[in-house]
Amino acid sequence: MEQKTDTVISVRNLSKNYGDLEVLRKIDMDVHEGEVICVIGPSGSGKSTFLRCLNYLEKPTGGEIEILGSKIIGGAHSRAQEKADEKAAMQIRREVGMVFQQFNLWPHMTVLENVIEGPVDVRGVPKKEAEEKAIELLKKVGMDQKKDVYPTQLSGGQQQRVAIARTLAMNPKVILFDEPTSALDPEFVNEVLNVIRDLAKEKMTMIIVTHEMGFAAEAASRVCFMDGGYIIEDGTPDEVFKHPKTDRAKQFFSKILNV
């Protein structure tokens, strides 16, 4: 019998509105330790907004998010609740890393300086210790030979690999990836996906918003298909890609997959 892993993220009835525009509608999701969840769907379906709500880059309009014991209540109506949400968000960000579409590296810092900045400035890790760990992580993503180079001297794929090393340097328990290859030239996509594949093999808990269907089918333990602000399919890659239950998912996959 398979051992059940701990729930690290619990989302209940999550909603997000921009005025009259409903971007997320009644999202429910549990994420267990070691799961790799790929969130897919058409543009504008709410995928990135969902990810940004998880670490409070967007304030939820309603519902609840609990991550590693810290809870955010959507649609806070009092200043006390807002302060409680902000405190919870700070704790969540200490445990949850995020890798964005754009690499967000500091252009005036070398690769090594970019990777050690968080551990040294935020976690108070001694600089020498942070540098030793950073070099290990840069080796992990194949970028240790570029440690003294500045980001502008790197390709997009190289910059994204450095961004992943920078996220790992903070020892996150969960990593959120927001379309990590969408800003890359096609020739650099695979080098970034290979790094994420390796993290999946190491059982890093990850939620990945992606348009890379082949990668999702291969690397994910679960796939969630979003449309119109809802999660309308949630299952194994085989269940979602080969046996979708909804007409909308069948229509979507018929246009982009050879099924």
pLDDT tens sequence across 152-197: 999 999 999 999 999 999 999 999 999 999 988 888 999 999 999 9
pLDDT of residue 258: 58
Give the C-alpha separation, 219 to 194, whole Å.
10
Looking at the DSSP bridge assignments, the partners of residue 67 are 9, 70
Instruction: With CA atoms as reference, report the closest residue to 55 among 178, 220, 223.
Output: 178
Sheet arrangement for strand 21-32:
21-32, 7-18, 62-67, 70-73
User: Letter for the amino acid at 52?
Assistant: R
Alpha helices (runs of H) in the chain, residue ranges in sequence order: 47-54, 79-95, 111-121, 127-140, 156-168, 186-201, 213-219, 237, 247-256
Q: Which of 69, 56, 58 is nearest to 16 (CA)?
A: 58
Cβ-based neighbours of 175, under 8 Å, separated by 6 or more: 96, 97, 98, 99, 167, 168, 199, 204, 205, 206, 207
Of 231, 193, 200, nearest in space to 50 by CA: 231
Question: How far is the C-alpha of 14 from the C-alpha of 147, rounded, in Å?
Answer: 41
**What global pTM score does this model have?**
0.93
What per-residue confidence (pLDDT) applies to 3? 43
User: Which residues are registered as beta bridge partners of 18?
Assistant: 21
What is the 3-state composition of the chain as percent helix, strand, coil, each rounded to the nearest 5?
Answer: 40, 25, 35
Which pLDDT does position 2 carry in this prediction? Answer: 43
Point out the residues of the chain with pLDDT beneath 70: 1-5, 76, 257-259
